[in-house]
Amino acid sequence: QQQVKQSPQSLIVQKGGISIINCAYENTAFDYFPWYQQFPGKGPALLIAIRPDVSEKKEGRFTISFNKSAKQFSLHIMDSQPGDSATYFCAASINNDMRFGAGTRLTVKP
């Protein structure tokens, strides 16, 4: 059972553009929603995270928007750079039982 659905599967954006990745979850008990960035040959690295009592969180060029009633959250990468090219995973967890989305392969063209 896929508890976190992520889209799109792949995304190509021009340098300077906005990258948007969307996730939807099913279990309303999830209480922590992180985004991870993974480069080839590396483990996922935490990018930004949000808890359901907040609707938006911004850290630098990265913003999470959270819609509790729709059970959806999204990652926005402003001014996308070639160095942002990586696979991004959304996740939802309860007490460290973390369920991941399928991942989005982002390519930022120079």
Partner 1 sequence: KAGVTQTPRYLIKTRGQQVTLSCSPISGHRSVSWYQQTPGQGLQFLFEYFSETQRNKGNFPGRFSGRQFSNSRSEMNVSTLELGDSALYLCASSPRLGNTQYFGPGTRLTVL
Among 27, 32, 61, 107, binds partner 1 (CB under 8 A): 32
The separation between the first and the last C-alpha atoms of the chain, rounded to the nearest angstrom, is: 38
Among 12, 45, 54, 78, binds partner 1 (CB under 8 A): 45
Structure token digits, residue 106: 């982002």
Structure token digits, residue 100: 């991941």
Cα dist. 46→15, 16, 80, 89, 110 in Å? 22, 22, 18, 10, 25
Binding of partner 1 at residue 28 (CB under 8 A)?
no
Q: Which stretch binds partner 1 (CB under 8 A): 13-21, 37-45, 60-68, 75-83?
A: 37-45
Q: Nearest distance from residue 95's CB to partner 1, in Å?
A: 5
Specify the pairing of strand 86-94 against strand 33-38: antiparallel
Which residues face 4 on adjacent strands? 25
Q: Nearest distance from residue 105's CB to partner 1, in Å?
A: 11
Among 19, 23, 35, 44, binds partner 1 (CB under 8 A): 44
Binding of partner 1 at residue 59 (CB under 8 A)?
no
Binding of partner 1 at residue 99 (CB under 8 A)?
yes
Q: What angle do CA 35, 41, 47 make, to 5 degrees?
A: 20
Residue ranges that bind partner 1, judged by CB under 8 A: 31-32, 34, 36, 41-46, 49, 89, 91, 93-103
